[in-house]
Amino acid sequence: MYLIYIIAVFLVGCGRAANVNRHMKLLEIENHIDKSVVQTPQSKRFITITKRPGPHSIHRPGTTLELTCEAIAAPAPAVHWFRNDAPIYEYDKESNEIMDTNPTSVARVASTLLITRSETPAEYSCLIVAGMKTARASTIVYSTDGSTEITERSKLVPLSPRILVSYKVFVDTIGSNIVLPCRVKGHPRPVVVWRDKDGVVIENDSRMKVLRSGELVITSLLWSDLGEFTCRASNLFGSTQIKTFVYPARPNETDG
């Protein structure tokens, strides 16, 4: 383990403590609960890949192969996919509105690449980027017969929503501006709806805004934002959702 954080929290009851502990375990963080002290994570930089594709994967024409990478990093990581060292662009540039991540943040990210065609063999890699640090995981994808005939047709067939990029847990200091990803793929294009920790649909909120890309921007993070935010994607053929646990940490008093 590259890093041990000590996070202490004001608690109004043991139920909240258990909820925080459960989500902090997803970050592999040692979470110490103390009713009288509030501290913040130390601002160190690290990346740990917690889930990666196997060294070899088989794609059968006419099906969709899913490759998934998960990682924990500080600052909060982004994931970029490559095929034979060439970047794969899954979204229109106009809807790609990623904002820079604060250096004080830490998060666990999950990213899935959907492959509808394959050229035998091809190397697919996920590149995890957190600040100036990077980590990479790769797999060689083989097709059973090398067919690429379904490429264009696959873009037109119905596809229920798939959430490809999201954070499971996100930690940042109170007062920060944060971005929670919810990258979706589906046909027709899915409608994305975010709900706050109280289950209320986020719309016309002065501090929270849902971007065209599906990302949720929260400005001036508050302690009262502590809890699970839900992103739900829907189209005519189904729906799916993810939950991101947001943890606002108190700024370190020694920080300048």
Which range marks the domain in which residue 32 is found? 14-249
Residue 242, in any domain of the structure: yes
pLDDT (average), residues 125-137: 93
Q: Residue 78 pLDDT > 70, yes or no?
A: yes
pLDDT (average), residues 15-23: 62
Q: Residue 40 pLDDT > 60, yes or no?
A: no
pLDDT (average), residues 136-148: 79
pLDDT value of position 35: 35
pLDDT (average), residues 45-70: 91
Band the pLDDT of 4: cuts 50, 70, 90: very low
Residue 165, in any domain of the structure: yes
Residue 2, in any domain of the structure: no
pLDDT value of position 3: 34
Residue 4, in any domain of the structure: no
Residue 6, in any domain of the structure: no
Residue 150, in any domain of the structure: yes
- On average, the pLDDT of the chain sits at 80
- Quote the number of domains for the chain: 1
Q: What is the pLDDT of residues 231-253, one digit of tens each?
A: 999 999 999 999 999 999 988 65
CATH number for position 28: 2.60.40.10
Band the pLDDT of 20: cuts 50, 70, 90: low
Query: b or e along 144-163 (b: 16 or more beta carbons within 10 Å of the residue's beta carbon)?
Result: eeebeeeeeebeeeebbbbb
Q: What is the pTM of this model?
A: 0.78
Residue 236, in any domain of the structure: yes
- Tokens matching residue 91: 């979204």
Band the pLDDT of 156: cuts 50, 70, 90: low
Q: Which residues, including other chains, have CB under 8 Å from residue 116's CB and lie 6 or more apart?
A: 64, 150, 151, 154
Residue 255, in any domain of the structure: no
